[in-house]
Amino acid sequence: MDLKDKLVSSFMAFENTVDVNHPVHEVRSEAIKNFETLGFPSKKMESWKYTSLKSILKPQLSVFPKKETSLDYKDVKQYFIHEIESYKIVFVDGVYSSHLSETSHEGLDVCLMSAALSKPKYRLLIENYFNKIAVKDGLTSLNTAFSKEGAFINIPRGVVVEKPIQILHFTTGVESSLLTQPRNLVVVGENAHVQIIERHQSLTDNPTFTNCVTEIFANKRGIVDYYKIQNDRDEASLIDNTYISQQRNSHVSVHTFSLGGKLTRNNLQFFQKGEYLDSTLKGVTITDKKQHVDHSTLVHHAQPNCESHQDYKGIYADKSTGVFNGQIIVEKEAQKTNGFQQSNNILLDDTATINAKPQLEIFADDVRCSHGCTIGQLDDEALLYLRSRGIPKKEATALLMFGFANNVLESVKIPQLKQRITKLIASKLGVNLGFDL
Amino acid sequence: MAGNTETDMLKIKNLHASVEGKEILKGINLEVNPGEVHAIMGPNGSGKSTLASVIAGNEDFEVTDGTIELEGEELNELAPEERAHQGVFLSFQYPVEIPGVTVTNFMKTAINETRKARGLEEMPANEMLKKIREKSELLEIDRKFLSRSLNEGFSGGEKKRNEIFQMAMMEPKLAILDETDSGLDIDALKVVANGVNRLKTPQNATIVITHYQRLLDYIVPDHVHVLLNGKIVKSGGKELALELEEKGYDWIKQEAAV
């Protein structure tokens, strides 16, 4: 039996573990049918032309953890931004870990999708938001069908959340063939403000596969800053589907730092639903060995007077591959749109590959859209300049890379997070630079 | 080890260097002692900048013959960073713009990597800040300038002042100033020259490479050498620079041809 058939037939067993009378279950049933029809994406599809899932879609993958594993905080502390006060929502093999978490219901909800799906007081929120902007492709449908657990964040109108919220998904590998499918929902009320840091972390050398879906809703004048740290182990693969809906005057930014992992595909899609709002998409990607990182972004400008800013920096070494597929759609109504897209890439070796494809579809006539894509090598003259000041080649190379990525790093608004990412990058590059950016 | 380690700072013997198979330096001999300032002059294309690049270790040039020694130690096989660790500093004719790396972070890294190579601890942060402040004042560099990306959007004069600021920070044994006067107005020239003069000690040496005599009014050389077609064809005192200013290079060319 292939993986698709196996997953479809697992759905019946899955139904025994959830409340089938909840309205969401209808959504799940629809979704499994959809997945059955669509299946997994293949390279024949235009949007998956450069990314093949073949190597990670193993038939032995299972959606049910065989046993629960618990972790000690001291063993996983390094994966938290522990230098700051924060809320924490932590999962181990897809199961909520209460002792690692710090949730809240005081003036806001920082809790679990399972709670949101079971408690009557959240029913209206779920009806209004759950699966309302997630695109109904094969992978997202698969996630929706098995959606049960993940982070649920509800920030009421006017609440400025003082502490960032960290979402951590650990995979332990006790279950080596587990497919985890977290489902996160973030609802940010009018004038509310929240910062979220999300990380998927495998703790095993066994292959792991995560197919995550996050829906984010920013209401009028809401502000959301979302940071994704992708620094997973060599055998960990991640499909990260993030769908964002924005209302008038809201500001949403998503930063994605892709340093580790075997195969990472980011489907990041913004849907603009009001005027005078802006969407920011930034990323730093540094890969080596046989890593593959794919950023497929979409900004859908559907209303007038909105902005979008995309800035992705990629550095590829060894036999690694990068993909940047940036789609901007400007609808006929979306006059005075200001859309900016930049993708700069450095190939360190002849064997590394980048596929970059800006895709602008503009139906309005009074817009400003600019896009720039560069692919190059490190500047030898710059390298010589730094070396002639006593900086060894490896450190000089790293310094140039930091300089290259700096535009994105400096827009991280949480200083401790910026520091951590700087350290992760330095460690990826094998250097110890004596300064903080 | 060859060379007179008692007195020689730099000793270049029969240096030949080529780029892409074309020979540019055709047998340079030069000795520079501690405390001295040497000027190397010559028309465009005579090999002045190549000489500077070869001493600093630019790998685009191939040394085909001869040796370069600093305090009796041969530099030929050393990487550019290793030469910097030994105390060689090149002020670039065209300093490179490095976006995203601030002047301060660049200097911190350069100083600490050099200290590391010399087996020293990193410089304490407060000491580093103090030094940066002192040296930037010497070059009349605004504090705001230090948090800008290295050379990015700097004017020609700012770039050159920044080079000398780096020299002040690195405290080299041998500084080579490659056309440091080009692109400078007279005020900036005075600031740069004053900086170079203030950094002079009996223990270090300076090589000033220039096309014009103007800079030498402010940085007075002990020796002047004329480079022509890859060779030093004439050496003399500071008056040689004045003679060149007055008469141009043609008479030297004729003299050399004889």
Q: Looking at the structure, do residues A269 and A407 belong to the same domain, yes or no? A: no
Task: Give the Cα-Cα-Cα angle A200, A202, A203 (nearest 5 degrees).
Answer: 140
Extract the tokens encoding A116.
């949101």
Q: What's the pLDDT tens digit per position in A106-132?
A: 999 999 999 999 999 999 999 999 999
Q: Determine, yes or no, domain membership for B3.
A: no
d(CA A116, CA A24) in angstroms, rounded, equals 11
Q: Determine, yes or no, domain membership for B2.
A: no
d(CA B162, CA B132) in angstroms, rounded, equals 12
Q: Which residue, of A229, A259, A274, is where some domain finishes?
A: A274
B224/B213: higher pLDDT:
B224
Nearest Cβ partner for A435 among B80, B108, B170: B108
Interface residues from chain A to B (CB-CB < 8 Å): 379, 381-382, 384-393, 395-396, 399-400, 402-407, 433-435, 437
Inter-chain CB proximity B113 and A390 less than 8 Å? yes
Q: Convert A360-386 to b/e letters by CB count within 10 Å (16 or more is b).
A: bebebeebebeeebebeeeeeebbbbb
Q: Which residue of A has its CA nearest to B92?
A: A385
CATH number at residue B237: 3.40.50.300
Which pLDDT score, from 0 to 100, does residue A372 have?
94
Global ipTM: 0.95
**Are the C-beta atoms of residues A109 and A153 closer than 8 Å to each other?**
yes
Residue A425: phi, psi to the nearest 5? -65, -45
Q: Which residue, of A255, A274, A293, is where some domain finishes?
A: A274
Nearest Cβ partner for B112 among A387, A405, A434: A434
Instruction: Please tell me if residue B57 touches chain A, with a CB cutoff of 8 Å.
Output: yes
Inter-chain CB proximity B98 and A404 less than 8 Å? no
Which pLDDT score, from 0 to 100, does residue A215 have?
98
Q: Determine, yes or no, domain membership for A140.
A: yes
Split into its structural domains, chain A has a count of 2
Q: Which amino acid is at A207?
A: P
Q: Give the number of other CB atoms < 10 A from CB of residue A208.
A: 31
Q: In DSSP terms, which residues pair with B11 in a beta bridge? A: B31, B69
Identify the weakest region by mean pLDDT among A305-309, A352-356, B7-11, B17-21. Answer: B7-11
Q: How confident is the model at residue B152 (pLDDT cuts 50, 70, 90)?
A: very high
Q: Average the pLDDT over A131-137 and give the result.
A: 97
Q: Looking at the structure, do residues A395 and A270 belong to the same domain, yes or no? A: no
Residue A123 belongs to domain spanning: 3-274
The yes-or-no verdict on residue B257 having pLDDT over 70 is yes
Split into its structural domains, chain B has a count of 1
3-state secondary structure of A398: helix
Shortest CA distance to B39 belongs to which of B187, B229, B243?
B243
Q: Determine, yes or no, domain membership for B103.
A: yes
Q: What's the pLDDT tens digit per position in A159-196?
A: 999 999 999 999 987 766 789 999 999 999 999 999 99
B96 contact residues in A (CB cutoff 8 A): 379, 381-382, 384-385
d(CA A178, CA A164) in angstroms, rounded, equals 29
Q: Determine, yes or no, domain membership for B102.
A: yes
d(CA A269, CA A133) in angstroms, rounded, equals 9
Q: Which residue, of A223, A254, A274, is where some domain finishes?
A: A274
Which pLDDT score, from 0 to 100, does residue A178 have?
86
